[in-house]
Amino acid sequence: MKKIFIIFILVMCLTLTSCNLGHIEDTNGDESFELSTLSKDEIFTYNTSTTVGVSEVSKNSSFTFKCKKLSGNYLIKTLTPRDRFLKVTIDFNITDGNAFLALVCDKEVIYEIPYNKSSVYNISGSKNVQLRILGESCNVSIRMNISEE
């Protein structure tokens, strides 16, 4: 019985300390949400991500993404205009860590999304457009509404 208890305590300690494994530390303080370890160009080359507490909800033309802790490069949503004009409203909020959010197409940043505000973007063409985030231990919430123009 004593061995089982010790093993249980050991497993709990490992589980609780592993929450930060794979996360990129926020090294520029609580006042800045700008990337400090990753560079914006790594949105095309950095291939891993670590997340805790991800929630994605799609309903009709709206989409919500929330993550309690995200590090690395994460594909949030792919938009397919199919030669239509799309009006995309993005509300991007960050409360902790650092992040860079962008709409990208063919290894090119189309729009950099500012944090803690709502912005409107027009997208057209036949190629897929991705909403990607680079994060450093960030807590984010993103709401997106899509309408055809």
Q: What is the pLDDT of residue 7?
A: 67
CA gap 146, 140 in Å, rounded: 20
Mean pLDDT by 10 residues, the chain (149 residues): 65 49 81 91 91 95 97 95 94 96 95 96 94 96 94
In three-state secondary structure terms, 39 is coil
Looking at residue 22, what is its pLDDT? 76
Q: Are 66 and 133 in contact (CB under 8 A)?
A: no
Q: How many CA atoms lie within 13 A of 24 on its CB side?
A: 21
25 in Cβ contact with 137 (< 8 Å): yes
What's the pLDDT score for residue 17? 45
pTM: 0.84
pLDDT confidence of residue 26: 83
Retrieve residue 77's tokens.
């949503």
- Cβ-proximal residues to 22 (8 Å cutoff; 6+ apart), any chain: 48, 50, 71, 72
Helix (H) or strand (E) holding 10: helix 2-17
Please give the Cα distance from 145 to 120 (Å, whole number): 9
Question: What is the pLDDT at residue 77?
Answer: 95
